[in-house]
Chains A and B, each alone.
Chain A
Amino acid sequence: MFRFLIFTLFSINAALAQAAPLRIEIKNGVIEPLPFAAPTFVAENSAANDLAQDLVNVVSQDLVGTGLFRQIPQSAFISTVTSFASPIQYADWKAINAQALLTGAVGTDGKTVTVKFRVYDVFANQELGAGLKFSGSQDGWRRIAHKVADVVYSRITGESGYFDSRVVYVAESGNKGQRRKRLAIMDYDGANVKYLTGSDDIVLAPRFSPTGDRVLYTSYETGHPRIYVMDVGSATRRVLQNAPGTMSFAPRFAPDGNTIVYSLEQGGNTDIHLMNLASGQSRRLTNDASIETAPSFSPDGSQIVFESDRSGSQQLYIMSADGGAAKRISFGDGRYGTPVWSPRGDMIAFTKQSKGRFHIGVMRTDGSEERLLTASFLDEGPTWSPNGRVIMFTRETQGVTGAANLYSVDISGRNLKPVPTASGGSDPAWSPLGK
């Protein structure tokens, strides 16, 4: 009787049952560049032949330069792309382990360039998003290439790119004791350098506005440090703070672009002030006998991180954008300075001096998870890429022949490399992503 009952129930159950899936957990993966294939774009007319190759080269350099991608050489390709409309032979690209594929077509009439492109997830046998088309002046073909790279980067990583961006910095030339410094602006990859000031006066610490159309900087034109704001397009400028007997420096825009925060030295004491650009009215945010400087807003504009030696050594603090009590966030060995809030809002980059070496590091906004990314004789002045993924900074070498140059590093600590500049450079500031 029992057996009959069990048999009956099992028969019913077997008919309804779904086998439980095999469940496993993977915690260990690999960190390596993602291989991609970028065949030369199809030239839609003979005038676009060279441009088709140049465009692909710039896009590939952008992607490879992140350290997150590896380009598969064209000599390894099995398939050729002769038409932008041709179906993709996924098997041929899988065979060479291309995980992503970029195809495109370029046309030009001598004045205007049109670029069409598609991105494919090879192993998923599908296109990543829809194809796009950019058009622009022939002179701006590099910017079009950067925009294509931004889209490809975004489609694959899920995050915005940073290739269509610029960097303002202090171009340095001459011997160490007689350096000539002038403001310069360039594409993020070192191309298209333009100088904004002459080399007669010392200039320091340029900072982009949130829209990228203006630059704040400090100049010793009057013999004392003064803050200026310059319109990038017209290179016109005006001084913002010129009170006698004072020194103003370390300016930075608030996220609204209408307010700046800066340091003002008055009577031997340095505190942080806020200034409305339209009215020119300033307000003191700190009032301590110690030195408070290097303020940087959080992306939402609600808080300010700055450095202070109020505890006896140079450390990082966070206070409300309205001032008031500050909370110390750095507690490691050594001295911390030049904090900069990440565009993502989750990290703060800083310079650290410890045991005779300088480091560029990052930490959470509460001071946790401090991670040192670099170490050298002198590293300082970090600036974030618009997507909060890369940090650019100044590295100066030791000795009388030592020179200052720009370097960049991924926030994981990988992909440390120099940024190409025509001469030496220091004090970089990354612009927001181009519109």
Chain B
Amino acid sequence: MHIGHYISGGAHAGLIFWALFGGMFAPEPLPMEVVTVSVITSAEFDAITAAYQPPSIDMAAQDLTQTPTTETAPILETAKDETVSSVIPPARPEQTVEITKPQPVEPLETPQVEPAIPDQPAPPQEVTPDLPVTRPNAVPRPADRVAPEPVAPPKEDAAIDEQVQDSVALADAGQKTDQPEQEATAPEAATTEIVTEAKKEPPSGAPKTSPRPRQRPAEPQVEKTDPAPPETQKSDPSSVQDALAQAMAGTTSEPSGPPMTQGETDAFRISVQKCWVVDVGSEAANVTVTVGMSLDRDGMVDGGSLKLISSTGGSDRAANTAFNAARRAILRCQKDGYKLPVDKYDHWRDIEITFNPEEMRAR
């Protein structure tokens, strides 16, 4: 009687323990290489193969089926006075390799695809090597401003502004115009590196590297939409374990909603970095600072939330200078608020930016 209870109790306890902690002992799944394939019909395949003309091979040029006769076996010379070891190594057993007949592999499972074929981008035009227009070792045009992207000098009469606009003059007397008068604006000229006087020496003209063809264009991205799970879908044991593990793990969690895309994150990064002024000759240029901040839904930074989270390299004074430069960049470039997706506010309510001047020092 009691033995039955003990067995039953132990079994239930084991089951609950497995449900709660079983996932902790599961091995990490090995990384799986995923290859994107496209499925075509046999008719399309025939059409493709028919259009393909195999290159002609001049059989007379090289007959690989013939046993080479000109090649002679190397002649091993032995030293005449060399003492030969009396130990003869045992003969190696003949190695035999079994070759099996080719067997058909299992066909790939046909994926369920949408009947409508998304618009494919036009095939890229013939790719030509990316030959430099200027000399390979040309020195960048000197400019007061050094930025990630070079900017050509603006016209003489253009005011400096991020936006490019042409000037509009007042209409002559008697003429009507809807456009208000405006002056021409253009971004300030910029170069990508500091051009010292020493760098302006005439180059030798010899390229340091050979030109390389342009990188293969990326595959068109086809957005996949996972079908809604059926009502009767069973819970994936691994997902249950993950959820339990995450719930038990601690006090951090991923925000709800779709995550920030790389493009959205990059756009934000670029909008801050164009205001990050680095004084490359200062001690602060040796300091990497991480700055934390909070934003409201309009993308406006809460000035009081800006704080130095960490710094590496340099004195406290240099770290403070680096923090001030980072803070100025964040506050100056927000203008009317950073353009961030409102529906993903939970993902960017709090942001930590690391300002690393290492690459700037090399310019």
Contacts from A to B (Cβ < 8 Å): 2-3, 5-6, 9-10, 12-14, 16-34, 68, 94, 97, 99, 121, 123-125, 157-159, 344, 357, 359, 361, 371-376, 389, 409-414, 416
Interface size on B, residues (CB 8 A): 73
CB of B300 within 8 A of chain A? no
Apart from A376-B197, A414-B196, A416-B196: 19 A-B pairs, beta carbons within 8 A? A2-B240, A19-B349, A23-B351, A24-B351, A26-B353, A28-B273, A29-B273, A29-B357, A30-B147, A30-B274, A30-B276, A31-B146, A31-B194, A31-B279, A31-B363, A32-B146, A344-B283, A409-B197, A413-B194
Decide if A2 touches B235 in the complex (CB within 8 Å).
yes
With A375-B198, A375-B201 already in contact, the answer to whether A27 and B248 are too (CB < 8 A) is no
Residue of A nearest to B264 (CB): A22
Residue of A nearest to B324 (CB): A121
For A157, list chain B residues within 8 Å (CB): 279, 282, 284, 321
* Cα–Cα distance between A26 and B148 once the two chains are bound (Å): 11
CB distance from A257 to the nearest CB of B (A): 26
Decide if B292 touches A21 in the complex (CB within 8 Å).
yes
Stretch at the interface among B59-67, B93-101, B252-260: B252-260
Which single member of B273, B278, B282 contacts A158 (CB below 8 Å)? B282
Decide if A124 touches B327 in the complex (CB within 8 Å).
yes
Decide if B277 touches A29 in the complex (CB within 8 Å).
yes
For B328, list chain A residues within 8 Å (CB): 99, 121, 123-124
CB of B238 within 8 A of chain A? no
Decide if A30 touches B145 in the complex (CB within 8 Å).
yes
Decide if A158 touches B254 in the complex (CB within 8 Å).
no
* Cα–Cα distance between A262 and B175 once the two chains are bound (Å): 81
* Most chain A C-beta atoms within 10 Å of own C-beta, residue among B260, B280, B358: B280
Decide if B355 touches A26 in the complex (CB within 8 Å).
yes
CB of B19 within 8 A of chain A? yes
With A6-B247, A22-B347, A24-B351 already in contact, the answer to whether A158 and B360 are too (CB < 8 A) is no
Decide if A26 touches B197 in the complex (CB within 8 Å).
no
* Cα–Cα distance between A87 and B315 once the two chains are bound (Å): 33
Which single member of A34, A389, A409, A411 contacts B277 (CB below 8 Å)? A34
Which single member of A21, A32, A34, A410 contacts B281 (CB below 8 Å)? A410
For B265, list chain A residues within 8 Å (CB): 22, 24
* Cα–Cα distance between A42 and B148 once the two chains are bound (Å): 41
For A29, list chain B residues within 8 Å (CB): 273, 276-278, 329, 355, 357, 360
CB of B337 within 8 A of chain A? no
* Cα–Cα distance between A68 and B273 once the two chains are bound (Å): 18
Residue of B nearest to A26 (CB): B273
For B296, list chain A residues within 8 Å (CB): none
Chain B contacts with A in 235-275, Cβ cutoff 8 A: 235, 240, 243-244, 246-248, 251-255, 260, 265, 268-269, 272-275
Decide if A2 touches B19 in the complex (CB within 8 Å).
yes
Decide if A22 touches B260 in the complex (CB within 8 Å).
yes
Contacts from B to A (Cβ < 8 Å): 19, 144-148, 188, 190, 194-201, 235, 240, 243-244, 246-248, 251-255, 260, 265, 268-269, 272-284, 292, 303, 317-318, 320-321, 324, 327-329, 331-332, 346-360, 363
Which single member of A28, A376, A410 contacts B360 (CB below 8 Å)? A28
Decide if B194 touches A414 in the complex (CB within 8 Å).
yes
Residue of A nearest to B350 (CB): A21
For B247, list chain A residues within 8 Å (CB): 6, 9-10, 12-13
For B198, list chain A residues within 8 Å (CB): 359, 361, 372-375, 413
Decide if A26 touches B196 in the complex (CB within 8 Å).
no
With A13-B253, A16-B251, A121-B324 already in contact, the answer to whether A373 and B356 are too (CB < 8 A) is no
A to B CB contacts below 8 Å, 14 in the list: A13-B246, A18-B253, A19-B252, A26-B354, A26-B355, A29-B329, A30-B146, A123-B327, A124-B327, A157-B284, A158-B284, A376-B197, A412-B280, A416-B197
* Most chain B C-beta atoms within 10 Å of own C-beta, residue among A16, A30, A31, A389: A31
* Cα–Cα distance between A17 and B349 once the two chains are bound (Å): 14
Residue of A nearest to B357 (CB): A29
Decide if B19 touches A125 in the complex (CB within 8 Å).
no
Decide if A17 touches B251 in the complex (CB within 8 Å).
yes
Decide if A14 touches B253 in the complex (CB within 8 Å).
yes
Give me the 8 closest cross-chain CB pairs, A-B, nearest first.
A158-B321, A413-B196, A29-B276, A372-B198, A31-B146, A9-B247, A21-B350, A17-B253
Which single member of B147, B240, B282, B354 contacts A159 (CB below 8 Å)? B282
For A376, list chain B residues within 8 Å (CB): 197
CB distance from A344 to the nearest CB of B (A): 8
* Cα–Cα distance between A430 and B252 once the two chains are bound (Å): 57
Residue of B nearest to A70 (CB): B144
Residue of B nearest to A100 (CB): B328
* Cα–Cα distance between A88 and B279 once the two chains are bound (Å): 27
With A20-B254, A22-B347, A25-B356 already in contact, the answer to whether A10 and B201 are too (CB < 8 A) is no
* Cα–Cα distance between A157 and B272 once the two chains are bound (Å): 20
* Cα–Cα distance between A10 and B260 once the two chains are bound (Å): 23
* Cα–Cα distance between A29 and B354 once the two chains are bound (Å): 12
Decide if A158 touches B283 in the complex (CB within 8 Å).
yes
For A25, list chain B residues within 8 Å (CB): 269, 353-354, 356
* Cα–Cα distance between A161 and B347 once the two chains are bound (Å): 43
Decide if B201 touches A20 in the complex (CB within 8 Å).
no
For B269, list chain A residues within 8 Å (CB): 24-26
For A413, list chain B residues within 8 Å (CB): 194-199
For A14, list chain B residues within 8 Å (CB): 253
Residue of A nearest to B145 (CB): A32
Decide if B356 touches A30 in the complex (CB within 8 Å).
no
* Cα–Cα distance between A375 and B327 once the two chains are bound (Å): 37
With A22-B350, A24-B268, A31-B280 already in contact, the answer to whether A375 and B200 are too (CB < 8 A) is yes
Decide if B272 touches A26 in the complex (CB within 8 Å).
yes
CB distance from B253 to the nearest CB of A (A): 4
CB distance from B325 to the nearest CB of A (A): 8
For A32, list chain B residues within 8 Å (CB): 144-147, 188, 190, 277
For B283, list chain A residues within 8 Å (CB): 158-159, 344
With A23-B352, A31-B146, A121-B328 already in contact, the answer to whether A9 and B260 are too (CB < 8 A) is no
* Cα–Cα distance between A6 and B356 once the two chains are bound (Å): 41
Residue of B nearest to A125 (CB): B303
CB distance from B75 to the nearest CB of A (A): 50
For B197, list chain A residues within 8 Å (CB): 373-376, 409, 413, 416
CB distance from A406 to the nearest CB of B (A): 16
For A121, list chain B residues within 8 Å (CB): 324, 328
Decide if B196 touches A374 in the complex (CB within 8 Å).
yes
Decide if A24 touches B280 in the complex (CB within 8 Å).
no
* Cα–Cα distance between A190 and B179 once the two chains are bound (Å): 51
Decide if B255 touches A19 in the complex (CB within 8 Å).
yes
